Amino acid sequence: MELLPARADDDHRPVSGRLRATNAALAACLLRLRHPPLAWLGRVCLLWLASAGFCVGHAADWPNGPVRIVIPFPPGGAADQTGRLLAEALSKSFAQQFIIDNRGGADTQIGTELVVHAKADGQTLLYTAAPLIIGAAIYSKLPYDPIRDLEPVARVVENGMLLVAHPGAAGNVQQLLEQARNQPGALTFATAGRTGVSYMACELFASLTGVQVTPVPYKGTGQIMPDLLGGQVNYFFDNPSTSIPHVRSGRLRPLGYTGARRLPALPDVPTLSESGVPRYEAVNWYGLFAPVGTPGMILDRLHDESARIMSRPESIERVERDGLITVSGSRADFAAFLRSELAKWSKVVAERHITPE
């Protein structure tokens, strides 16, 4: 029996059309089954074909309209800038508009929850950063589980934090540690947001070195920088993009970088691990997610195209100007990274007795 008769025009039909034709041929064969056990099996297979055919056909036609990328941060920051870079390129790749929707607030929970509850059809995506996982480590109750309720698509870019100091403070990390041991609690570290990497980088530093420091909370970098430049606060784990201009002008002193490797924009600044704090690494990563249940074909297409876009020399050059680096890896690699980040920050939260603000 020829289950799938050949057609001369098959190669010219869209993927979804060929899938529907294949399913129709299989269904016709299954309907011919007359023996009771086989008839029962045929009905089960028909139900499966109906479901699978719809999902695969829809995924093959994706995107079938504008795609919304929710960014749970206000406009203007690194998440917004890199998210728009990716959205612009995806719009050209898929010949559909990828539209940025900034939904900041509640430590990124507002925008994240919106995507978690969106239809899993690939038309609504989330572009977010490290606070997604840090928040899960700090908050005992969230309206979602970032590991269970979101599909990791692509880890796009990341940056370590630059440990900077007022010129009148310590000249390197070892001097900082000596001062902290001689004056427990006297050294102040500016922080911006309990779920931010700058705060958690400070707590990880204290956890790994055993020194006592005093975090000083601020609403944001805009409020921190005048006090740091004026010497009212001693140290700050900052995004390189905002600190590098002050480092180059001599108004701030870089002591170390929290990434696994040195920052390309400041190659003479050692990592914290090189500076005598073994195993230290704290990065602010940025990545693309979809609601759980989104068809794998859509996730794979998004991942592959995002990786291709961010591997372009012009993309690498653009993000490196802001102190970021592009990141490669599979969807499985991204999922494993998220689990490891959750384990790391959960341990710091427990050891340092960190609670929500």
Read out DSSP for 248-311? HTTSSEEEEE-SSS--TTSTTSPBTTTTT-TT---EEEEEEEEETT--HHHHHHHHHHHHHHHT
Count the domains in the chain: 3
Q: Tell which residue, 336, 243, 351, 215, has the closest CA to residue 285.
A: 336
**pLDDT score recorded for residue 39:** 53
Indicate if 46 and 187 belong to the same structural domain.
no
What would the pLDDT profile of 93-134 be if each residue is shown by its tens digit?
999 999 999 999 898 999 999 999 999 999 999 999 999 999
Please report whether residue 244 resides in a domain: yes
Indicate if 153 and 297 belong to the same structural domain.
yes
Answer yes or no: is pLDDT of 310 > 70: yes
Indicate if 149 and 292 belong to the same structural domain.
yes
Domain with residue 150: its CATH number is: 3.40.190.150
Indicate if 136 and 78 belong to the same structural domain.
yes
Please report whether residue 262 resides in a domain: no
Structural contact between residues 58 and 121, judged by C-beta atoms closer than 8 angstroms: yes
Q: Which has more confidence, 309 or 34?
A: 309
Indicate if 193 and 245 belong to the same structural domain.
yes
Indicate if 250 and 169 belong to the same structural domain.
yes
Q: How far is CA 12 from CA 53, 100, 197, 202, 297, in A?
A: 19, 35, 51, 59, 21
Structural contact between residues 282 and 237, judged by C-beta atoms closer than 8 angstroms: yes
**pLDDT score recorded for residue 57:** 53
Read out DSSP for 31-66? HT--SHHHHHHHHHHHHHHHHHHHHHHHHHH---S-
Mean pLDDT, residues 205-222 taken together: 90
Indicate if 73 and 108 belong to the same structural domain.
yes
Please report whether residue 264 resides in a domain: no
Answer yes or no: is pLDDT of 229 > 90: yes
148 CB neighbour count, 10 Å cutoff: 8
Q: Which of 16-25, 114-123, 270-279, 344-353 has the weakest average pLDDT?
A: 16-25
- Of 257, 276, 305, the last residue of a domain is 257
Indicate if 211 and 73 belong to the same structural domain.
no
Tell me the residue range of the domain where 87 lies: 67-157+286-352
Please report whether residue 274 resides in a domain: no
What would the pLDDT profile of 129-187 be if each residue is shown by its tens digit?
999 999 999 998 999 999 999 999 999 999 999 999 998 888 999 999 999 999 998 88
- Of 61, 83, 101, the last residue of a domain is 61
Mean pLDDT, residues 212-230 taken together: 90
Indicate if 15 and 37 belong to the same structural domain.
yes
Please report whether residue 266 resides in a domain: no
Indicate if 148 and 296 belong to the same structural domain.
yes
Indicate if 91 and 78 belong to the same structural domain.
yes
The CA distance from 250 to 253, in Å, is 7
- pTM for the whole structure: 0.82
Q: Give Cβ neighbours of residue 60 (< 8 Å, ≥ 6 apart).
A: 14, 15, 16, 19, 297
- Of 237, 257, 277, the last residue of a domain is 257
Structural contact between residues 98 and 87, judged by C-beta atoms closer than 8 angstroms: yes
Please report whether residue 174 resides in a domain: yes
35 band by pLDDT with thresholds 50, 70 and 90? low
14 band by pLDDT with thresholds 50, 70 and 90? very low
Q: Nearest 5°: phi and psi at 309?
A: -65, -45
**pLDDT score recorded for residue 323:** 87
Judge if the upstream peptide bond of residue 278 is cis by omega within 30 degrees of 0. Answer: no
Indicate if 167 and 153 belong to the same structural domain.
no
Please report whether residue 292 resides in a domain: yes
The CA distance from 228 to 212, in Å, is 20
Domain with residue 216: its CATH number is: 3.40.190.10
Mean pLDDT, residues 202-228 taken together: 91
**pLDDT score recorded for residue 297:** 96
